[in-house]
Structure 1
Amino acid sequence: MGRWSNSRRRTHIITPILPDERDREECLSDVLLRVWDSIGTFDPGRTALTTWLTHLARNAALNRRRGNEHRREGGTLDEAMPDAADGPEQSLLKAEAARVLWAAVERLGRRDRELFLRKYYYYQPTAQIAAESGLTVRAVEGKLYRIRKHLQSELGGVFHG
Structure 2
Amino acid sequence: MDPSAWMERLQQGDREALEPLLAHYEGMLRYIVSGVLSDPHRQEDCLAEVRLKLWEKREQYDPERSSPATWLTVLCRNAAVDHLRSAQRHSAEALDETRPDPAPGPEEQLLRKERAERLERALASLSSRDRALFYRKYYYLQSTARIAAELGLTPRAVEGRLYRIRKGLQNKLGGDLL
| TM-score (normalised: structure 2) | 0.61
Q: Distance in 2 between matches of 1:120 and 1:105?
A: 12
Q: Distance in 2 between matches of 1:55 and 1:92?
A: 26
The answer to whether residue 160 in structure 2 is matched with residue 142 in structure 1 is: yes
Greater mean alpha carbon deviation, residues 129-138 or residues 9-18 = 9-18
Q: Distance in 2 between matches of 1:98 and 1:32?
A: 35
Which residue in the other structure is 2:177 paired with?
159
Which structure: greater helix fraction? Answer: 2
Q: How many Å apart are 1:127 and its aligned residue?
A: 2.3
Look up the SS of the partner of 1:118 in the other structure: helix
The answer to whether residue 35 in structure 2 is matched with residue 26 in structure 1 is: no
Q: Distance in 1 between matches of 2:175 and 2:132?
A: 22
CA contact (8 A) 1:104 1:154 kept: yes
Structure 1 unaligned regions, length at least 5: 43-48
CA contact (8 A) 1:14 1:57 kept: no
Which residue in the other structure is 2:4 paired with?
2
Look up the SS of the partner of 1:122 in the other structure: coil
Q: Which has the higher contact order (CA 8 A, sep 6+)?
A: 1
CA contact (8 A) 1:13 1:58 kept: no
Q: How many Å apart are 1:112 and its aligned residue?
A: 0.6
Look up the SS of the partner of 1:93 in the other structure: helix
- Determine which structure has more spread, i.e. the larger CA radius of gyration: 2
Which residue in the other structure is 1:13 paired with?
25
CA contact (8 A) 1:115 1:144 kept: yes
Question: Identity percentage over the alignment?
Answer: 39
Please give the root-mean-square deviation of Cα atoms over the aligned residues, in Å: 3.8
Q: Distance in 2 between matches of 1:128 and 1:59?
A: 25
Q: From the superposition, tell whether residues 127 and 149 of structure 1 become closer, same or farther in structure 2 (CA, over 3 Å).
A: same
Q: From the superposition, tell whether residues 61 and 144 of structure 1 become closer, same or farther in structure 2 (CA, over 3 Å).
A: farther
Q: From the superposition, tell whether residues 135 and 107 of structure 1 become closer, same or farther in structure 2 (CA, over 3 Å).
A: same
Q: Distance in 1 between matches of 2:173 and 2:147?
A: 25
Look up the SS of the partner of 1:157 in the other structure: coil
Structure 2 unaligned regions, length at least 5: 8-16, 34-42
Q: Distance in 2 between matches of 1:101 and 1:118?
A: 16
Q: Distance in 2 between matches of 1:4 and 1:87?
A: 43
CA contact (8 A) 1:116 1:147 kept: yes
Which residue in the other structure is 2:69 paired with?
54
The answer to whether residue 104 in structure 2 is matched with residue 86 in structure 1 is: yes
Look up the SS of the partner of 2:175 in the other structure: coil
**TM superposition outliers: structure 1 runs of 4+ over 4 Å:** 6-10, 20-25, 30-33, 62-68
Which residue in the other structure is 1:45 paired with?
none
CA contact (8 A) 2:115 2:177 kept: no
- How many residues get paired? 146
Q: Distance in 2 between matches of 1:101 and 1:128?
A: 25
